[in-house]
Amino acid sequence: MEILMYTVGKHHKDMLAGVSSIFVSPWLTSYIQKKHWQFERAKHKDRFPTDFRLSSLVLLPGQKSITNVHTIYAPMIWADRHWVGLAINLPRRLVEVLDPLPELNNDRKVKRFLDPVLKMLPFVINKIAFPPLSQFTGDSPFTWSRKHALTKNSHTGDCGPVSIKFIEMHALGDPAPHMS
């Protein structure tokens, strides 16, 4: 997944920079998933320590601040067995889920899988933004929606590459033959 995201991101680097978007490795969502339990127990979430690699991961090439980023595209694995694509729209505080097999998890499960990202992301972004972004202060989590009417992938084991294809198509404005 790391190599696929890197390859697709590099291929569309100029287009992504032109629309203030970036493709990131699965490390971002994995890091958030692993740190979530510590974050939930922290008394001062705004002082929760983050890994220095986060800032270099989510910045546009040549930029020093996340204030120039509009959308972060990231793959995420659920329950160590199912990959989905995330289109994280920062100004709207919205995580759009690009799921190649939506019937696998109902909305309650999806919310549970996304909770770490939805809750931690405002704090992580505010931590790496300079100057701090007012829309990411406080503890209001991001919201989420699931992109419906996507082509369903019924082949077990293909969800990772299909998720990355959905990410690519979403970033390109869903050109023909479309995700649906």
Q: In terms of CATH architecture, what is 2-171?
A: 3-Layer(aba) Sandwich (3.40)
Per-residue pLDDT of the chain (180 residues; tens, 9 = 90+): 889 999 999 999 999 988 989 899 999 899 999 999 999 999 988 888 877 677 666 665 666 666 677 899 999 999 999 999 999 998 889 999 999 999 999 999 999 999 999 999 888 877 776 655 555 555 688 999 998 778 877 777 789 999 999 999 999 987 777 776
Query: Which DSSP state fits 29?
Result: H
All structural domains of the chain with their residue ranges: 2-171
- Determine the pLDDT at residue 146: 93
DSSP bridge partners of 87? 73, 96
* Nearest Cα residue to 170 out of 98, 108, 75, 94: 98
**Which three-class secondary structure state does DSSP give residue 156?**
coil
Looking at residue 155, the DSSP 8-state letter turns out to be: S
pTM for this prediction: 0.88
| Sheet containing 21-23, strands listed edge to edge, beginning at the edge strand earlier in sequence | 21-23, 71-78, 82-89, 94-98, 143-146
What is the reported pLDDT for 33? 94
